[in-house]
Amino acid sequence: MQDEVDRLVAAWHTERPDLDVQPLHVLSRVSRLARHLDRARRAVFAAHELESWEFDVLTALRRAGAPYQLSPGRLLRATLVTSGTMTNRIDRLAATGLVERHPDPADKRGVLVRLTDKGLTRVDAAFADLLDREHEILDALSPADRETLANLLRTLLVPFDTDVPLP
């Protein structure tokens, strides 16, 4: 069995035999897989009339637990965007009725962003469908292979996650 990365690596071996292209075997596959996963996720989100960024904000609120609310500051840390971007996103989600702003009882000047019933229903349905699609994608791997792959990817990802500056 050959994939596009095998063809790419073979071409580089021919064109630049002086270079060690070994990283391409892993990282080009990760990159290509990320693009395919992004397409699959966008299709699931579109079926629920959501954009990827909307799903990110809504799931951050959903994971917070009842009453499904967070401050804008906690939301921007959860989604790794700037405060201006988060304000814009909250405005857009509020305009579609998926979230509401409420005064923060612990801070007179603060607000809390809360999922509406419509937002909760939408994000729960989208998340369930996303998991169904991702299970389909992983069906080619045994449970043991999935665990091995998850552990290997974690090893590569942890240094990046620990170095991510907060906006």
Q: Model confidence over 73-99: pLDDT tens digits? A: 999 888 888 889 999 999 999 999 999
In this prediction, residue 64 carries a pLDDT of: 96
By residue range, what is the domain housing residue 43? 4-15+22-134
Report whether 45 contacts 51 (CB < 8 A).
yes
Tell if the pTM clears 0.75, that is, is over it. Answer: yes
pLDDT at 165: 56
CATH number for position 64 = 1.10.10.10
Number of domains in the chain: 1
Q: For residue 61, is it within any domain? A: yes
Q: Strand, helix or coil at 81?
A: coil
Q: Mind listing the pLDDT tens digit for each residue in 32-41?
A: 999 999 999 9
